[in-house]
Amino acid sequence: MATMVVSGRYDNLVKIGDFVRQAAQDAGLDSFSVYQVETAVDEACTNIIEYAYGKEGAGDIECTCQATPSQFVVILRDWGKPFNPRKIHPPNLKAPLKKRQAHGLGLHFIRQWMDEVDFQFTGETGNVLTMVKRKEKTG
């Protein structure tokens, strides 16, 4: 288990990315799974800065990585505003260019590329996003 805490700023995304990529590689994920996890974490952290905190430098992000023989788990915690992810609908991926939304892809990546995604919003311990990537069965 490894934990990193950074201030919620966009220029810290690369640090969290390096940290998570390294942990995912060490856990033995294949390189595309590593890329998927790094992407999901980047998207989630961006949202924390943009929406939970509403701006850069307004609070910390805690990132914890845990590996078991069968899966890789990332837990992100922030102390910003909670939100209801159930209210966020998937983007329309078939719309013609003119009507294509440039927004709304972040949660889509998180949901599609991680095997389990769980948001918990409890006042005291902050908002906790737990994301699980299962390891490929080799053999």
Partner 1 sequence: MEITTTSFKHCDMLVLKGRIDSSTAPQFEQAVKAITDQSRFKIVMDISGVDFMSSAGLRVLVNTQKTCKRYNRGEVVLAKIPANIQSALELSGFIPLFKVFDDQIAAVGNF
Ligand X SMILES: Nc1ncnc2c1ncn2[C@@H]1O[C@H](COP(=O)(O)OP(=O)(O)O)[C@@H](O)[C@H]1O
Q: Which does 73 bind (CB under 5 to 8 A by kind): partner 1, ligand X, none?
A: none
Residue 46 in the binding site for partner 1 (CB under 8 A): yes
Amino acid at 60: D
Contact between 95 and 46 under an 8 Å Cβ cutoff? The reply is no
Torsion of CA 123, 67, 27, 49, to 10 degrees: 0
Nearer to ligand X, 67 or 107 (CB): 107
β-sheet bridge partners, residue 121: 127
Residues 38-77 that bind ligand X (CB under 6 A): 43, 47-48, 51-52
Q: Which long-range contacts (CB under 8 A, 24 or more apart) does 21-25 make?
A: 23/65, 23/67, 23/72, 24/65, 24/72, 24/133
Q: Which does 2 bind (CB under 5 to 8 A by kind): ligand X, partner 1, none?
A: none
Q: Select the residue interacting with partner 1 from 7, 32, 118, 125 (CB under 8 A).
A: 32
Q: Which does 1 bind (CB under 5 to 8 A by kind): ligand X, partner 1, none?
A: none
Q: How far apart are CA 129 and CA 87, in angstroms?
A: 16
Interface region with ligand X, contact rule CB under 6 A, candidates 17-25, 26-34, 59-67, 103-111 = 103-111
Residue 39, number of CB atoms within 10 A of its CB: 18
Binding site for partner 1 (CB under 8 A): 9-11, 13-14, 17, 32, 35, 38-39, 42-43, 46, 49-50, 91, 93-94, 97-98, 100, 102-103, 105-106, 108-109, 112-113
